[in-house]
Amino acid sequence: MTKKVTDVNEYGEFGLIDHLTKSFGSTNPSTLKGIGDDAAIIKNAKDYTAISTDMLMEGIHFDIRYSPLKHLGYKSVVVNLSDIYAMNVIPSQITVSMAISSKYSVEALEEFYDGIKTACDFYNVDLIGGDTTSSLKGMAISVTAIGTIADKSKITYRSGAKKGDILCVTGSLGAAYLGLQILEREKQLFLSDKQMTPELDSHTYLIERQLKPEANKAAIEYFDKIGLIPTSMIDISDGLSSDLMHICKQSDLGAFIEEDKVPMIEEAKAAALVFNMDPITCALNGGEDYELLFTLDPMDIEKIKFMPDVHIIGEMVDKKDKLTLHTPGGSIHPLKAQGWNHF
Amino acid sequence: MTKKVTDVNEYGEFGLIDHLTKSFGSTNPSTLKGIGDDAAIIKNAKDYTAISTDMLMEGIHFDIRYSPLKHLGYKSVVVNLSDIYAMNVIPSQITVSMAISSKYSVEALEEFYDGIKTACDFYNVDLIGGDTTSSLKGMAISVTAIGTIADKSKITYRSGAKKGDILCVTGSLGAAYLGLQILEREKQLFLSDKQMTPELDSHTYLIERQLKPEANKAAIEYFDKIGLIPTSMIDISDGLSSDLMHICKQSDLGAFIEEDKVPMIEEAKAAALVFNMDPITCALNGGEDYELLFTLDPMDIEKIKFMPDVHIIGEMVDKKDKLTLHTPGGSIHPLKAQGWNHF
């Protein structure tokens, strides 16, 4: 009898996690929310702790040939803080673990930690622990972010959207993905001709969105200031389609997006065309934007009228109406999650 | 001008972390204890959260050729829970992140998660999050453990020992290290002759201490039951010498250990002799025992008289008297930390 061998690609990232953790339950009353949202929520005696963790692997999540270590340190922190903000919680602490091969010098690690420190200072979080060890090959980074919130009713899960809720997104989409395309193109040109100088200056913004993204702290602070609690929220790490699908699935709803309401800056649209891509495809499936996707009770729409850089892009509908894209020409297309597949 | 390149080995693990994080401070009032103990402590509205994280890398911390994945999953959890217990806190949640190369099948991961589940069930902790992604080569594991405690005065730091305090250790030492020596020996024999059958059965206990260690939950529960709070505590992961040195350094003290009081089981002593090692060296520097090393106010010595499997091994002394080993013959040897150096 031979042992059964199933390739992990048969499941995909989310399917694999679901499959591997389906037999795990919660036994501690303090476990308020486990696997399946941007962060887990632990009930303390009088308040709540949100906790989220991400792993970044060299050659998979970053390419050391064009990602400066300072930027990498910064980004490693930011992508985790973004998950805490997506729960409508302000992060306050992080831990950073790192495994490195012998090719990394102390000076390289100083740059990496300099990026971590810059992020800690900017987002007002404390580095409180971690682990530093070696790897046989490449760099592995694991960051855990922690935040505390007093009022349980302010926590925003993916599962809270209601039919008729307004769908909103902050900032603009697709830029980080297009920044990556530019970096990859210049890397290939450089690898084929080491004398060439990468042409990056004309795309500073797109490249920065890829190498040094920001988490949307301002939006969460604004919600608090105006007394608004989104009915659901998620950060856009895998792409608008894929992340909206998480909200739909967990809220047991469908949604539509108006194509011409999806925010993209001109520079991103222009870059998409250079790569022979449809700009809306980059916005829908690009990923790594770390903007916030959230739903609002229509009664609250008045509250966001002066909120900077926020866009109403669609509406939550009945589950049977699925997830669709409405084009300016009046066509309706089904949306599929085509976010990052890490396997 | 050439860029300065310093090898990380010039610092060692602890020196490197100190060097890289020296410019980091705490700005959030909720950060009660940051880097430098078994776990960090976060102050909540009414209670306290202990949080600790560890990274395990294939080829560095484990060898997949003799570490069954179920055991590996179990051990990954246990080594982190041990850090929370060492703060005198009961862990209640964990997150597990994992990066794997294409050589791992779904069935292999099921085994790994089976081990995680077994540990969760045994120690009554909930898996509440994590990340599953791919790596170019080998497996990387990062576990974060979380526990909550109501009473701040019960938290045991490395820094709390006082001169004259009694030094105690639970269980027995050196077994995990000798288990590793046996596994390595049999691996080498197997690699030189694939027909041979590894001779492991006669060393079941030592091998189990290496592949499937346990965290000392019982000791922490006993402390609670008898109302005892150690003045300082650490779990023995790097070796008795190295971990005692952390207590000495952070409590600004010296210590002596009575050699013939250091607990070792006969099987471990016998195995040490087979490998031409001095048994006490294995106990002092072996590491991975995950026993608890703690100090007691001498007034409390009466309280542990019926505590199972605990051993008084020495005493905390003035800093100028350093860290020494007293042999049965009456000699005094200086002790050096020779724990695992991961670089």
Residues A113-146: pLDDT tens digits?
Answer: 999 999 999 999 999 999 989 999 999 999 999 9
Candidates A127, A103, A130; CA nearest to A116 is: A127
Q: Between these two residues, A303 and A192, which has the higher pLDDT value?
A: A303
DSSP assigned state of A330: S
Burial B107-140 (b: 16+ CB within 10 A, else e): ebbbbbbbbbbbbbeebebbbbbbbbbbbebbbb
Does the pLDDT value for residue B240 go beyond 50?
yes
Pairing of strands B40-43, A323-326: unpaired
pLDDT per position as a tens digit, B314-329:
999 999 999 999 999 9
Transcribe B183-245 into DSSP letters. HHHHHHHHHH-TTS----GGGHHHHHHHHS----HHHHHHHHHHT---SEEEE-SS-HHHHHH
Beta-sheet strand order (sheet of A310-317): A232-235, A292-296, A166-170, A310-317, A254-258, A323-326, A332-334
Query: Tens digit of pLDDT for each residue in B83-134?
Result: 999 999 999 999 999 999 988 999 999 999 999 999 999 999 999 999 989 9
| Share of residues in chain A with pLDDT > 90 (%) | 83
Q: What is the pLDDT of residue B191?
A: 83
pLDDT at position A337: 63
What are the chain A neighbours of B125 within 8 Å (beta carbons)? Answer: 28
The chain-wide mean pLDDT, for chain A, equals 93
Q: Is the pLDDT of residue A171 over 60?
A: yes
What was the pLDDT predicted at A7?
87
Listed range (A4-8, A222-226, B194-198) with the worst mean pLDDT: B194-198
**pLDDT for residue A198:** 73
pLDDT score of B5: 85
Contacts of A107 in chain B (CB under 8 A): 3-6
Q: Does residue B12 surpass a pLDDT of 90?
A: no
Q: Which chain A residues are within 8 Å of B138, Cβ to Cβ?
A: 135-137
Nearest Cα neighbor of B165 from B241, B290, B242, B253 is B253
So what's the pLDDT on residue A296?
Answer: 98
Establish if A192 touches chain B: CB-CB under 8 angstroms.
no
Burial class (CB in 10 A: 0-12, 13-18, 19+), B204: exposed
Q: In this predicted model, what pLDDT tens digit does every residue of A288-320 receive, in sequence order?
A: 999 999 999 999 999 999 999 999 999 999 999
The mean pLDDT value for A181-198 works out to 85
A68 vs A12, which has greater pLDDT? Answer: A68
For A100, which residue in chain B has the nearest alpha carbon?
Answer: B343
Q: pLDDT at residue B339 above 50?
A: no
- Cβ within 8 Å, pair B40-A128: yes
Give the distance from residue B315's alpha carbon to the nearest chain A alpha carbon, in angstroms.
Answer: 29
Q: Looking at this predicted complex, what is its ipTM?
A: 0.93
Q: What angle do CA A273, A276, A281 make, to 5 degrees?
A: 80
- Arithmetic mean of pLDDT over chain B: 93
Query: Which of A34, A44, A99 lies nearest to residue B45, judging by beta carbons?
Result: A44
Q: Does B124 touch chain A (CB under 8 A)?
A: yes
Give per-residue pLDDT as tens, B38-49: 999 999 999 999
Does the beta-carbon distance from B109 to A40 stay under 8 Å? Answer: no
Q: What's the pLDDT at B337?
A: 63
Provide, rounded to the nearest whole percent, the portion of chain A with pLDDT above 70: 97
Q: Sorting pLDDT into bands at 50, 70 and 90, what band is B340? A: very low
Residue A97 has pLDDT above 90, yes or no: yes
The residue that leads in pLDDT, A200 or B2, is A200
Give residue B195's pLDDT band: very low, low, confident or very high (50, 70, 90).
confident
Give the whole-angstrom CA distance, residue B158 versus residue B143: 22
Q: What is the mean pLDDT of residues B203-214?
A: 93
Query: What is the reported pLDDT for A339?
Result: 44
Interface check for B1 against chain A (CB to CB < 8 A): the answer is: no
Q: Which domains does chain A have, with CATH numbers?
A: 28-154 (3.30.1330.10), 158-334 (3.90.650.10)
Average pLDDT over residues A51-58: 96
